[in-house]
Every structure is written in C-alpha cells, then in structure tokens.
Amino acid sequence: MNFNSITQIFIITWMNLRNIPQRLGTSAVAVFGVACVVGVFTGVLSMAAGFERTMRNAGSPDTAIVLRAGATSEMSSGLDYETTQQVANLPGVAKDEVGTISSAELFVVVDIAKRATNSSANVPLRGVQPEAFKVRHTFKIIEGRNFEPGKNELIVGRGAQKQFANLDVGAKIKLGQTEWNVVGLFESGGGVAESELWCDAKILQAAYRRGNSFQTIRLQLTSPAALKELKSAIAADPKFNLDVQLESEYLAAQSEPLSKFIKIVGYPLAILMAIGAIFGAINTMYTSVSSRTREIATLRAIGFGALPVAISTLVESLVLSFLGGIIGSIVVYLVFNGYTVSTLNFASFSQVVFDFAVTPQLLIQGVIFAAVIGFIGGIFPAFRAAYLPVAAALREV
C-alpha cells in the first residue's frame, strides 16, 4: 500500500463518517443493538464478578480453617470442644499475650424475611469466640458496639442489614424461643462475613442445643508458610479426622459452583445476542453501501481504489459498534455497579449478599466484544462496496 492509498482511505472514511447523520435511523439501530448486547453481557458477568469478589475478599493469606474431614461446608462440619482446644495449640498457630489466636465457631442459618420481597431467606448466623476479631483483620464495628459475651446480643454485617428485614441497630428479633438485641453493625473488607449475623458462640450453643460442640475453627497462622507445619501436625495425630486449608482456598471453592453457573448461562447468552446483533449490523452496513451506490461508483470512476472504499465501510461499522459498546458499558456501569442483591449459595446453604461489580476488565471485554461485532458486521458489506461494478452502479438511481 502506498502513501496515496492511505490518503485515500482517510478521505473516504472521513466523508463516510460525516454522512452518517443522513442515515441516522439505520445507524442508530446498529448502535443501539450493540449497546444492548454489550449491556446484557457486562451486566450478567458483573454479577459473577461481584459474587466472586465478595467471596474472595474475606480470606486473608495467613488464616486457616479447620473442618471435619470430608465436610463440604461449614454447615456440614462438626468438631467437639476437645478437638478445637487441641488444634488451637498445634505448631504453626500464632499466639499473643492472651493465648493462641483462634476462634472456634458455630454456623447455622435462621429464617428472616428479605427486605425487598418479604420472602423468607436462610440468613447465616455465626457464633464466635472473642479471638474471632483478631483472626479477621478487616473486621470493624461501624455503628453501635460489639456484643457482650454471655448476652443475647447480635451484631449484623453491613450487607445483611441492607438485605434483610428488621436488623437495624436497636432492633429486637425473635428467633425460636430466644429474643435477641441487635447492638452493632460491622464491616469486614466487603467479604462474605458481611452477609452474616454474629453472636457469642456459647449463647448460640445453648439456643440451638449444640452442647459444647462447634463446627469449624479459624486459626491465625504465624506465616502463610506455617500451613504446611500445621497440616503435617494434624496428619501425624491419628485421633484427628480433620481437613485444614487456607480460608481463601475454602471460600474460593465455595464460590465456584454459583459463579460457574452464572458464566455457563451468561456466555452462551451473550454469544447468541451477539449473533443477532451481527445480523443487524450487516443489514445496517449493506443499507449504508446501497444508499451510497452512486457515490461509491463516482469515487471509483475518478480514480479511488477498491481497497480504500472497502476499508472505509469497515471503519464505519467499527465506529458505530464502538459507540454502541461504549454506550452499553456506561449505562450498565451507572445502573448496576454497586447494586446490592443476595442469593442462596447452595454450597453453604445460606444467603450471600453481594454487589454487582462492573470491573474495568469487564468493560474492556465488552468493548472488545463490540469491536468483534463491528468487524464481522462490516466485512461482507465492505467486499460488496469494493466489488461494485462501476458502470452499472453509475446508471442506478
């Protein structure tokens, strides 16, 4: 390609783009179509991204979680008191002046209505030991105060408070025969703990007739590498029948089925919609070429090459799709980013509250997607423009 044909490409493309207002209707349809596709694509995947973010934000690299061997979630695990004591004193577990930094916990669900729909939801209720707040570095009370050990007091995660009814600080809530006072609101780095209600483990044991048993124990490791040490200590003792893993790994596994499900539905959905939009885009560009038949033929007659004409058509298609992609992304970002929802995570059989996360990565994916639609939509009409029989076209009306 020589310098001349590059100039030609610029001239024709610029002319094309300036003429778009004359084909406003068709062009707007193409833009809108791409915007919708990119919007749905980004919207659905931002759900998966938000869910994963919530599940992963919680785990810190030096927190380990111990479950009964084979348990698929905290709900299906069970540990007796002696085991939790022995595990906490194994090598690799961090200590401070009070003792080992570990929290044996109970995890149950309670039936509370969703604020928006008033339908019942499995809200997670966690009974924790005092060290729980040291194991979770990001934990912070943001309203009210922490619960006092030995009292029927609850503190509520930020997400749970938003989604479920009657969990404001100061509220009283009756679960079974026990009445609880909501005394505080907490956050925990945007993690899954914010979907939960917390109380004193001893009180929960009594309320749920769990004797002195627990379900899991969370441990602060002396360093991320200490996991190995802890693992071999547990494996060495035949009386333990336990699984130990990093909390972050545990949560990643818990989030997998649901985010996989969203993606399995989301990607084919987006691809089908894109195919529909490609048909729309091809139609638009054919119309654009046919309405410019005489113009193109004239250009060819006065010496413009076939390639610049083809490229200008392709560029027009790309520009329209880009525009659509950007509009779709912006709308989804404005409408959905940070929108809070909750769903039942089957892995833990409890509700997880999360925000839609329209991440920069998703936005870039969306725009690339738009470009692909524009390219496929433009390439065939571009060929037609290039191979237009000049003499016949000039005669057309």
DSSP strands (E only) in 73-177: 79-80, 102-113, 120-128, 139-144, 153-157, 172-175
Burial of 78-100, coded b for 16+ CB within 10 Å and e otherwise, reads bbeeebbeebbebebbbeeeeeb
- Give the SS3 label for residue 215: coil
User: By CB under 8 A, is residue 286 in contact with other proteins?
Assistant: yes
Q: Which of 282, 323, 358, 382 binds other proteins (CB under 8 A)?
A: 282
Return the structure tokens found at 333: 């970002």
Q: Which stretch binds other proteins (CB under 8 A): 171-179, 297-305, 311-319, 386-394?
A: 171-179
User: By CB under 8 A, is residue 276 in contact with other proteins?
Assistant: yes
Residues 210 and 75: beta-carbon distance below 8 Å: no
- Cα 230 to Cα 73, 82, 215, 224, distances in angstroms: 20, 17, 19, 11
Q: Which of 94, 115, 169, 208 binds other proteins (CB under 8 A)?
A: 208
User: By CB under 8 A, is residue 155 in contact with other proteins?
Assistant: no
Q: Which of 120, 166, 232, 361 binds other proteins (CB under 8 A)?
A: 120
User: By CB under 8 A, is residue 373 in contact with other proteins?
Assistant: no
Beta-bridge partner residues of 111? 122
Return the structure tokens found at 222: 């002396």
Q: Which is nearer to other proteins, 215 or 220 (CB)?
A: 215
Q: Which stretch binds other proteins (CB under 8 A): 49-57, 116-124, 180-188, 366-374?
A: 116-124
User: By CB under 8 A, is residue 121 in contact with other proteins?
Assistant: yes
User: By CB under 8 A, is residue 343 in contact with other proteins?
Assistant: yes
Return the structure tokens found at 60: 């810190």
CA distance 186 to 174: 20
User: By CB under 8 A, is residue 241 in contact with other proteins?
Assistant: yes
User: By CB under 8 A, is residue 119 in contact with other proteins?
Assistant: yes
Residue 143, Cβ neighbours under 10 Å: how many? 16
CA distance 277 to 272: 9
Q: With contacts defined by CB under 8 A, how many residues of the chain interact with other proteins?
A: 54
Q: Which stretch binds other proteins (CB under 8 A): 10-18, 275-283, 301-309, 353-361?
A: 275-283
Binding residues (CB under 8 A) for other proteins: these are 25-26, 29, 32-33, 36-37, 39-40, 44, 68-72, 75-78, 108-111, 117, 119-122, 175-177, 208, 213, 241, 253, 265, 269, 272-273, 275-277, 279-280, 282-283, 286-287, 341, 343-344, 346, 349, 351
